[in-house]
Structure 1
Amino acid sequence: MLGTVAAAVTALLTAVPAQAAQRCDFSTTTGRYSCSGSGSVRNPSDVIGAKLFTGLDYSGDSLTIWVPRPCPKNDTVDHWVSLGNDMRNKVSSVQAWSSCWVWLYFADGQREGPFKGNEPDVGSWANDRAVTVGLS
């Protein structure tokens, strides 16, 4: 009997496909957002400024933020992105690209960063708290 139940559970688990992680893009140049490929949002000359992930170690859903050029090092946050419901309070790991540094801003006004490269874990204090992202 136990073997029959185990076989039924295994069959059920293999019959339900795993949900694929959602890969979305936002361009600070065009202001467009889409989960159907970067070509639908960015200008041809845009470069990746950052990638955000809902899971640790760059797993789960992701948001690629496109910027018009590499970030200048001018002591200013050059690009602001208010996160939508799919990423708000869900960021767990980040990748900084094109000389951009990533700042995570929280609903209470505090921030964490800058993250200057690949950060597989933003830390327990910042995990799942970001509502806005700044790139500098």
Structure 2
Amino acid sequence: MANSTITRTTGRRRLSALIGGVGTMGLLLTGVTAAQAAPQEAEHCVYSASTQTYTCHHSLTEATATGNRLAKAQGDVIGATVFEFRDYGGASLTITVPKPCPKNDRVDFWLDLDEWKNSISSVQAWSSCWIWLYPESGGRAGPFKDKHPDVGSYIDNRTATVGLS
């Protein structure tokens, strides 16, 4: 199966996304920090697993509205939003998936993080998806089944991989 890579640079984050499909759909997001630039406004991105594209916006309201429009047009749903800071602050990444997460006792979508590694402090789960946060040291936190303004001290700023089930 072919893999596609999408890269977009805006604001202070550069995100690259690689989608692969073997059995269940795999989802991998990686990123690179912009060269030592002055701090800028937080960026809010939406990634579509179906089209393998993403858009970035200056506000969470814009990003959420775009995510909802894109998801509805493609028959997708918003699966999760992760945030840089507690109480849904800072930069955000909203992920749309092809269908609501099935409750099949396994993680159906995986996100290995580079730019977002060790920087997630709050999450919002959507469309029956549960969010699992995995640190590099092993173990996991979750499932986060709803909105969580603080993921807890065990996983705060320690997430290396996000799973959606």
Using the size of structure 1 for normalisation, the TM-score is 0.76
Asked whether 1:82 is paired with 2:112, we answer yes
Give the alignment's Cα RMSD to 1 decimal. Answer: 2.1
AA at the equivalent of 2:159? A
The answer (yes or no) to whether the contact 1:24–1:35 under 8 Å persists in 2 is yes
For structure 2, list consecutive stretches of 5 or more residues without a partner in the other structure.
1-38, 58-62
Counterpart residue number, 2:17: none
Tell me the number of residue pairs that the alignment of Structure 1 and Structure 2 aligns.
117
The answer (yes or no) to whether the contact 1:24–1:33 under 8 Å persists in 2 is yes
Picking from 123, 133, 136, the partner of 1:94 is 123
- Offset of residue 25 of structure 1: 1.9
Asked whether 1:111 is paired with 2:132, we answer no
**1:115-130 aligned within 5 A:** 115-130=144-159
For structure 1, list consecutive stretches of 5 or more residues without a partner in the other structure.
1-17
Asked whether 1:51 is paired with 2:77, we answer no
Asked whether 1:20 is paired with 2:41, we answer yes
The answer (yes or no) to whether the contact 1:26–1:34 under 8 Å persists in 2 is yes
AA at the equivalent of 2:41? A
Aligned residue for 1:61, secondary structure, equals: strand
Query: Identity rate of aligned residues, in percent?
Result: 55
Instruction: Find the aligned partners of 1:105 and 1:128 in 2 and give their Cα distance.
Output: 11
- Offset of residue 51 of structure 1: 0.3
Aligned residue for 1:110, secondary structure, equals: coil
Q: 1:32/1:110 Cα in 2 relative to 1: closer, same or farther (>3 Å)?
A: farther
Aligned residue for 2:90, secondary structure, equals: coil
Counterpart residue number, 1:7: none
The answer (yes or no) to whether the contact 1:71–1:98 under 8 Å persists in 2 is yes
Using the size of structure 2 for normalisation, the TM-score is 0.64
Q: Relative contact order (alpha carbons < 8 A, sep ≥ 6): 1 or 2 greater?
A: 1
AA at the equivalent of 2:46? D
- Offset of residue 31 of structure 1: 3.5
Counterpart residue number, 1:60: 90
The answer (yes or no) to whether the contact 1:28–1:79 under 8 Å persists in 2 is no
Instruction: Find the aligned partners of 2:114 and 2:76 in 1 and give their Cα distance.
Output: 21
Asked whether 1:70 is paired with 2:100, we answer yes
CA deviation map 1:55-86 (0-9, x unaligned): 1111100010110011111111011111231x
